[in-house]
Amino acid sequence: MECNINYLPEDLIAHALSLTAPLDACKFAATSSIFRSAAESDTVWERFLPSDYRDVLQRSVSPVLFSSKKELYFQLSDTPILVDGRRKMFSLERSSGKKRFCISARELSITWADNPMYWTWKSMSQSRFEEVVELRMISWLEIHGKINTQLLSPNTTYGAYLIMNISNRAYGLDTEPSEVSVEVSGSDNMKSRGIAYLRRGGAKTSESWKQMWCWHRTEMMESIRRVLNGGDFGEEREVREREDGWMEIELGEFYVDGVVGREVKMSLVESKGVHLKGGLVIEGIEVRPKL
């Protein structure tokens, strides 16, 4: 006896679709009218939204208007919202519904950031936050951020990225490597470390400059790898251009295993050199699922 799936109750189909993934539900919706109707239901998209989405919406600085849970899902995927007094930005990973956060520069701990002699706070039209901070001149660079795993999606591997830019008048940022790291409290094996030169991706230096610093850079990298952590300080991370006009550098990755209340510490530090550096613009640190 054949069974026509179109005769199944719509709520049963909706329940089945809610056990898939957002992209799967959209694909099934294109197969028949009964699937299309079921895939529009709030039952399906409520399941794809984070369990604490109502709390997130209450923390939004502006009302979030929507007529269905599906509309809300794609709105949060396509248009991040400012939360927690404009200090963070929240969105969803479109393909999976996993949570993403961007922590503003004001929410970070940046050495001497409140001293106008070293840093300048200003607004930028291309920033998603009210303020960014630009390094004027400093020899000791430290940027630290933190986020609680309770805010993130469980059973998910995340990457932490410093969202930055380099001004045309920048100097001294790539003379020596910065140390980048991510560490999860309460876990001995959740630590990711590496090094990075702060310069535009693919930027080329003059031949004379290359000759002058080639040997120095090689020796510096080898020295760091030998001295720190028994000779393994991780790979060199590259600055990458983003579609929104900013640049990013990966600080490290970590896994959210479902244990509530763990703190994730993220940092970029360059304190070994005594030279001056400037021209680094910081928007924040983005924490997003790794695909």
pLDDT tens readout for residues 110-148: 999 999 999 999 999 999 999 999 999 999 999 999 999
CA distances from 129 to 63, 86, 96, 168, 280 (A): 17, 7, 25, 22, 17
Query: b/e for 162-181, b at 16 or more Cβ within 10 A?
Result: bbbbbeeebebbbbbbbbbb
145 with 264: CB under 8 angstroms? Answer: no
Q: Are strands 132-135 and 278-289 parallel, antiparallel or unpaired?
A: antiparallel
Using DSSP's 3-state secondary structure scheme, residue 277 falls into strand
Written in H, E and C, the secondary structure of 49-60 is: CCCCHHHHHHHE
The rounded distance, in Å, linking the Cα atoms of 114 and 22 is 44
pLDDT tens readout for residues 168-226: 999 999 889 999 999 998 876 678 999 999 987 655 443 334 444 444 554 555 555 44
Tabulate helix, strand, coil % of the chain (nearest 5): 30, 35, 40
Amino acid at 93: E
Q: For residue 242, how many other CB atoms are within 10 A of its CB?
A: 13
Q: What pLDDT shows up at residue 206?
A: 39
Q: What pLDDT shows up at residue 223?
A: 54
Return the structure tokens found at 22: 């957002």
Confidence check: pLDDT of 283 > 90: yes
pLDDT tens readout for residues 36-90: 777 788 888 999 999 999 999 999 999 999 999 999 999 999 999 999 999 999 9
Count Cβ atoms within 10 A of the Cβ of residue 125 and give its class: 0-12 exposed, 13-18 middle, 19 or more buried: exposed
